C-alpha cells in the first residue's frame, strides 16, 4: 500500500518505521526542518515529501499530529483523494497540557468528529488508545496469549476493515469500537485508554465508558505522572492508567 503519514512523533514515527519495514510505500511529512525529516526517512526506508505529496496517490492517510496542526492543514488538501481511501486519526486532545481549549470538544463533541470537520471527510479513529512504547515493542503474532488489542472506530465499514488489517499487521488485535460518534469511548482516560488490555478486556472497557466522565480524569494526568516520578517504567504507566481510568 501507499501510505502517507502526517507527523513523525511518537506514534506517527513508530507507525512509519513499522509500515516501511513491512514493505509498504511510506511517505512522511512533518513540521521539522527538512534535514531531520530526510534523515529519519532514510533511516526507516520512507520517502520525505510535502503535505500534498503525502496525499497524492495514497491508499491510506494517517494523521498523527496535534489538534492545532490539524486545523492548519489546507482546507482543500483531501479534495481529490478517492472516497474509499481511509484517513486515520491517531490523535488525542489534551487541553491545557499540549492543546488549546477547543469549545466544541469541551462541550462533548467526539474528538475525531472534530477532526473530520476540519479535514472535510469522515475519518477512522485508530492507534490512539495504545502508548507509543506499546506500539513500538508490544506487537505480537496472531494468536499469542499476550496479544494486546486496539480499538478502531469509524462509519465506513470498508475503510474500517482496511485500517483493522493494518492494526493486525503491526501486531495488535483490532476491535471494532463502533461508529465515529462512538469514538469518545476510546478517548484519553476512558477505561480502554492506554491500558494494554487483551480482546475481552478491551471490549469490556469500551462498554464501561461513561460519556463525559473521562475529561475530569484526563485533566489530572499531570498529577498522575508526577506521582510516578521522573522516569517511570512502562509497566508503571499502564498500572496507573488501569487504576485511574477505571469506571466509578
Bridge partners of 87?
61
Taking the C-alpha atoms of residue 133 and residue 118, their distance in angstroms, rounded to an integer, is: 29
Number of CB atoms found within 10 A of residue 26's CB: 25
Return the pLDDT at 34: 83
Distances (CA, A) of 115 to 62, 89, 112, 118, 198: 12, 8, 5, 5, 28
Phi, psi for residue 116 in degrees, rounded to 5: -55, -40
Query: Is the CB of residue 245 less than 8 Å from the CB of residue 190?
Result: yes
146's CB contacts (< 8 A; 6+ apart) are 140, 198
Query: Is the CB of residue 62 less than 8 Å from the CB of residue 30?
Result: no
Query: Is the CB of residue 86 less than 8 Å from the CB of residue 80?
Result: no
Return the pLDDT at 31: 83
Taking the C-alpha atoms of residue 105 and residue 65, their distance in angstroms, rounded to an integer, is: 17
Return the pLDDT at 248: 67
N-to-C CA span, the chain? 43
Return the pLDDT at 32: 73
User: Is the model's pTM score more than 0.85?
Assistant: yes
Per-residue pLDDT of the chain (248 residues; tens, 9 = 90+): 999 999 999 999 999 999 999 999 999 999 876 899 999 999 999 999 999 999 999 999 999 999 999 999 998 999 999 999 999 999 999 998 889 999 999 999 999 999 999 999 999 999 999 999 999 999 999 999 999 999 999 999 999 999 999 999 999 999 999 999 999 999 999 999 999 999 999 999 999 999 999 999 999 999 998 999 999 999 999 999 999 999 86
Return the pLDDT at 58: 98
Return the pLDDT at 5: 98
Residue 232 corresponds to which cell in the numbers above? 517511570
Residue 148 corresponds to which cell in the numbers above? 494486546
Amino acid at each position: 500500500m501507499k501510505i502517507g503519514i502526517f507527523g513523525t512523533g511518537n506514534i506517527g514515527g513508530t507507525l512509519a518505521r513499522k509500515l516501511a519495514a513491512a514493505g509498504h510505500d511510506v511517505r512522511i511529512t512533518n513540521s521539522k526542518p527538512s534535514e531531520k525529516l530526510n534523515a529519519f526517512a532514510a533511516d526507516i526506508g520512507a520517502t520525505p515529501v510535502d503535505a500534498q505529496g503525502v496525499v497524492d496517490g495514497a491508499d491510506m492517510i494517517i494523521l498523527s499530529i496535534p489538534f492545532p496542526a490539524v486545523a492548519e492543514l489546507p482546507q482543500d488538501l483531501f479534495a481529490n483523494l478517492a472516497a474509499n481511501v481511509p484517513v486515520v486519526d491517531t490523535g488525542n486532545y489534551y487541553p491545557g497540557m499540549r492543546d488549546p481549549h477547543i469549545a466544541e470538544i469541551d462541550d462533548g463533541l467526539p474528538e475525531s468528529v472534530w477532526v473530520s470537520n476540519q479535514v472535510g471527510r469522515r475519518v477512522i479513529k485508530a492507534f490512539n488508545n495504545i502508548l507509543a512504547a506499546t506500539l513500538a515493542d508490544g506487537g505480537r503474532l496472531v494468536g499469542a496469549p499476550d496479544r494486546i488489542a486496539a480499538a478502531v472506530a469509524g462509519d465506513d465499514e470498508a475503510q474500517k476493515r482496511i485500517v483493522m488489517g493494518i492494526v493486525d499487521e503491526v501486531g495488535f488485535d483490532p476491535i471494532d469500537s463502533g461508529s465515529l460518534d462512538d469514538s469518545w469511548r476510546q478517548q484519553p482516560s476512558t477505561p480502554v485508554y492506554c491500558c494494554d488490555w487483551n480482546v475481552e478486556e478491551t471490549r469490556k472497557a469500551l462498554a464501561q465508558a461513561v460519556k463525559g466522565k473521562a475529561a475530569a480524569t484526563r485533566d489530572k494526568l499531570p498529577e498522575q505522572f508526577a506521582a510516578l516520578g521522573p522516569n517511570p517504567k512502562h509497566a508503571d504507566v499502564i498500572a496507573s492508567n488501569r487504576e485511574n481510568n477505571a469506571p466509578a
